[in-house]
Chains A and B, each alone.
Chain A
Amino acid sequence: MSHLTAWPVFLPLITGFILILAHMGGIRLQRAISFLAVIGLVLLSVALILATSTDQYQVYLLGNWTAPFGIVLVLDRLSALMVLITSLLAVGALWYAMTTDTDKKGAHFHILFQLQLFGLNGAFLTGDVFNLFVFFEVLLLASYGLLLHGNGRLRTKAGLHYVVINLVGSTLFLFAVGALYGVLGTLNIADMAAKIAVAPQEDLGVIAAAGLLLLVVFGVKAAMFPLYLWMPSAYANTSAPVAALFAIMTKVGIYSIIRIHGTIFGSEAGELSYFYAPWVLGLGLVTLFLAALGVMAARGLREQVAYLVLASVATLLVGVGLMSAEALNATLYYLIHSTLIAGAMFLLADVVLRGRGAYEDRFESGPFMPNAILIGSVFMIGAIAMTGMPPLSGFFGKVLILSAALDDSWFAVIITVVLVSGLITILSMARSGSLIFYRTLSDESISSSERGEPLNRMAFIAVIGLLLSSPILVVFAQPITAFTEATAHQVFNSAAYIEAVLSTPMVTEANK
């Protein structure tokens, strides 16, 4: 039992506490501590990836209680991958927040940021359903604070909706967990999966209902149709670094579906094996189509990027709903790509907003912004990656998902919806790009008060850095897909997960 497993959870928590004390030390001290912690988190998650490369499950018994009596942290390839994506995204978001002084707009930005990471990493590592609920609450409470950081009427309004719908989601989560506990008598994910296989016939209805209730909860997090309406306005109205970090928040829902449903209702579950997959697939397709319409109808760049995030989440749902190791492999590859690129696009939308002054990010002809050629070129690269055109990683991800879909009986519908919505997003991005960068107004018609500020080069590094992940994903596609393929196989081998968690012995003097 290595303590490495617990560090990604405790590092942000401890940093959060230190930051509270460092509050008197001024913003520079807070920035230094916060940034160092995030860099440390990246190094830690690389170590985690290496630790999982042997297909071993690292089970950490909190308080040295064996599962299923105590809470366990379980590290496998999937959790290590999610922690790595989170920390990379956090570096980009935090760098942008520091260089643009977003973190000065209100108190406690860095503390909330670290507690957000604490909640995220905890949710990715826990092996207990109720503990997952607690970590969800931690990350949500931090996200409420971050979402409302700074001020603004629209931000408050969107924030109120976000908070209320997530509170309803939390209540449903508790109902589902309670029902599962009442029937199965356990809260440990592995133990639940083991008990479901031997559950009496008359209990299966309750278990299925609780499983679908959990799907609704994760659907709220992942912004699945019809529970996505809170998402575009909340993401479009918050500050850019927060929106960039929130690119991982929707993926928490996706991860939870893969982890909880994939393990509890996996191949071992007998009659309930993968009963949820058609729901995920169908709702994913509807979400994808509506997201594409949203991309087309968006009135501003930030709203458009929010809908693009929705489209990428929907593509992931389709991949999860296909329920094959091949499809899951493609889904995980697309997940890495879409999270990092979505973060970059939120930051880029903010760069555009600052450059256009009074015209903000609205789709109307504005002034010729400073450094338009550089920003425009980067925008084009980001748009290519985001909409899934060759030669960048979005294209490869989509091709992998579509080729996995060929085995499904619904393949014609899936391919049609994915391709048509892809076409709609490409057209919309082309339109918004040309509106913002080509059709500019002449200099005389703009008063100086309406002009934007020059490009913040330090902040722009964050955008470039996150966007670089796309060519890296293509150039190193072979090792990365090898990793995601091994991850997908590990996820599908739920028997090994159950075995590993339930057989981990207590730490004694002898086996220290």
Chain B
Amino acid sequence: MEWLISLAIGVLTATGVYLTLRARTFPVVLGLTLLAYAVNIFLFAMGRLTVGLPAVIDKTAEAAQYSDPLPQALVLTAIVIAFGMTAFLIVLALKARGELGNDHVDGLDTESNKEAK
């Protein structure tokens, strides 16, 4: 299971970084979303990988018989924040598209843009 998780994190991160470095706003948004997925799985894995164990400690269970609940709480927080930020970024990207006349991250000086000035 470890290699599968690490491969998933690696591929997600690589794709995310590639897309974030693109010149159009939409791939950048997608890239940041993929990076957020990668970091969520990474955080989750930091509580060590277990199968079929409860996150709540049972009084009768031994110490090793549960999965770490803290990373799960962290991931939940991180997911919510990433959602909020992505929503904001999409709105901002639309605003930039409307005001700058194109979806380039630097708002290139195209013909239509020059006229708008």
Listed in ascending order, the chain A residues whose CB lies under 8 Å from chain B are 130, 134, 137, 141, 144, 148, 151, 153, 156-157, 159-161, 163-164, 167-168, 170-171, 174-175, 177-179, 181-182, 187
Contacts and interface: CB of A to CB of B under 8 A. Distances in A.
A171 B39 contact: yes
Contacts of A157: 96, 100, 106-107
A182 B85 contact: no
A93 to B, nearest CB: 23
Contacts of A153: 99-100, 107
Contact of A164 (B28, B43, B100): B28
Contacts of B42: 174-175, 178
Of listed A151, A159, A174, A179, residue having the most chain B CB within 10 A? A174
B95 A141 contact: no
Interface residues of B, number: 32
A160 B92 contact: yes
Interface of B: 20, 25, 28, 32, 35-36, 38-39, 42-43, 45-47, 70-71, 74, 77-78, 81, 84-85, 88-89, 92-93, 95-96, 99-100, 105-107
Nearest to A181: B46
Contacts, number: 80
A182 to B, nearest CB: 4
A141 B85 contact: yes
Contact of B85 (A151, A156, A170, A177): A170
Contact of A174 (B39, B84, B93): B39
Nearest to A134: B77
A182 B39 CA distance: 13
15 contacts: A130-B74, A130-B77, A141-B84, A153-B107, A156-B107, A157-B107, A159-B92, A160-B96, A164-B20, A164-B89, A167-B32, A174-B43, A178-B39, A179-B46, A182-B45
Given A178-B74, A182-B45, 8 more contacts: A130-B77, A153-B99, A153-B107, A157-B96, A164-B28, A167-B32, A179-B46, A181-B46
A148 B45 CA distance: 37
Contact of A181 (B38, B71, B93): B71
B88 A144 contact: yes
A187 B20 CA distance: 29
Contacts of B89: 163-164, 167
A181 B44 CA distance: 11
Contact of A156 (B36, B47, B78, B96): B96
A164 B70 contact: no
